[in-house]
Structure 1
């Protein structure tokens, strides 16, 4: 059976950017009713399952965990758009999340909001694949390997209290979006699953967001993020298949007082 990589998206524009890379995708339905399209990624060993989950980290976390449980993927990518937080970003740039912050936890005190952040690091293997892929995609893609902030907030006011909190407590975050922490948390609960968040910059988290979106910036950003995601999967190799191999279970004493080697059972990795 081919190894499975899952690509999750929130919005139709994000889904539509990834789908053309799948060869003859077929629709599948999970036990909870979640629908995905699944097809081979040409030129790789991967079968890619693609889903559109809707907005919000909570929904993403729940559905991502269901998808992981039923499809048992080796890699999980969240691909979509985000608002840029740094002056050196341009529309269509792609941020590969070395770290994902969940930014809304905290404690309200008379002295103000005290942060209680959570964070998850991107898979080392996938981040390394992304570094290599981004080098090869230059100059068609401007890539950044930086942290991303995640909260159930659409930020359009750079002077708001929330924006000030981001600058004060998450100053290394290069983008803000809504679902990455849900994916990261689901992957964290699934043991050794490799996961990565990849976001294209479609606006700058300011009052110009609506104008940027209407100009086609979301299509541009989603397309660039999808291009990076596919390049990452082309670089990333599935884990070696396991085949039956010896595991020594110890010596045993027979009834005549002699000893014999116990049976060999279990699996070992194929070299």
Structure 2
């Protein structure tokens, strides 16, 4: 088991090796940790932030994602969970290379089959409001990213036919979804049941979920989509601060202090935060009159 860190942890989950590699490129000073059950993570730091990033490649499927996300949450105690990777577009205006940030995540297979047809019983989990707000702020400063804030559909299916029965079902029953993928609802459900973990699904669009999927994948679209999703995730973490009072947070019960945009020490109340800056000059302390 790992030794507790003095800095807060965020868990970033992927399904595919290329998704893992895209996130891993942003994480420094990595070390591998192994859960007693065998699940492996690499844990390192995101430079210029208080965050420790724990990165895991879970494989495909929502049920697998749910079980392993719950395991990792209980082990690592992260403040936030992201599922990051590629997806297929469900909207004409959501193009290859765009990024979809999941305002909600839909489980698309829930329902009841009746003589009159299949009756949908929607299951939806909202993305974290705080993380979504950080994402909206972050992408404003990313001119190379075209981002959409929309629901994401999760299903145990690789959609490569826009006229298939399931494609028509999605257009009829989940018509506001901007993308389809295979793991997001599992991770979001595990975080929701934990009760204390913010969660967000961020997906880069690698294809249009139609007959052109194989051609799009062969063109390198998955690599670009994964890199875009990873870049947005890291930008979110540069905006989103740890909770007050957590290890490495920039707030405490003693008073507010904030890191400046350039990483320099900043002042608030009676405290100066030097953790992300360098100070040159004398410091005068204030005697505690209560002693």
TM-score by length of 1: 0.89
Matched, 1:46 2:51: yes
Q: 1:164 aligns with which of 164, 168, 188?
A: 168
Q: What is the aligned partner in structure 2 of residue 24 from structure 1? A: 29
Distance 1:72-1:86 versus aligned 2 partners, 3 A rule: same
SS in 1 for 2:227: helix
In structure 2, what is the equivalent of residue 258 of structure 1?
A: none
Q: Distance in 1 between matches of 2:25 and 2:90?
A: 30
- Is contact 2:11–2:82 with CA below 8 Å preserved after alignment? yes
Hey, what does 1:76 align to over in structure 2?
81
- Could you list the per-position Cα deviations for residues 109-130 of structure 1 after superposition, in whole angstroms to 9, with x for gaps in the alignment? 1111110110000000000000
> Which whole-Å CA distance do the structure 2 matches of 1:50 and 1:207 have between them?
32
The answer to whether residue 184 in structure 2 is matched with residue 180 in structure 1 is yes
**Which of 37, 41, 53 is the matching residue for 1:36?**
41
Q: Which residue of 2 aligns with 1:257?
A: none
3-state SS, counterpart of residue 230 of structure 2: helix
The count of corresponding residues between Structure 1 and Structure 2 is 246
SS at match of 1:239: coil
Equivalent in the alignment of 1:255 = none
Alpha-carbon RMSD across the aligned residues, in angstroms, is: 1.2
Name the residue aligned to 1:206: 210
Residues 13, 58 of structure 2: 8 Å contact kept = yes
Give 5+ residue unaligned stretches, structure 2. Answer: 1-5, 256-291
CA contact (8 A) 1:240 1:270 kept: no
CA distance in structure 2 between the aligned counterparts of 1:108 and 1:195, rounded to whole angstroms: 31
What's 1:259 paired with? Answer: none
Q: Is the 8 A contact 2:8 2:246 kept in 1?
A: no
Whole-Å separation in 2 of the counterparts to 1:220 and 1:113: 37
Q: Is the 8 A contact 1:241 1:270 kept in 2?
A: no
Return the offset for 1:20.
1.1
Distance 2:173 2:42 in 1: 39
The answer to whether the Cα contact below 8 Å between 2:13 and 2:81 also exists between their aligned partners in 1 is yes
1:133 to 138, 153, 156: 138
User: Larger Rg: 1 or 2?
Assistant: 1
**What's the offset of the Cα at 1:52?**
0.2
Question: SS of 1:181's equivalent?
Answer: helix
Secondary structure in 1 aligned to 2:28?
Answer: coil
- 1:91 is matched with 96
| Deviation by residue 1:205-263 (Cα, 9 ceiling, x = unmatched) | 001111111110000000000000000001000001169xxxxxxxxxxxxxxxxxxxx
1:260 aligned residue: none
Q: Residue 221 of structure 1 is aligned with which of 218, 221, 225?
A: 225
Secondary structure of 1:21's aligned partner: coil
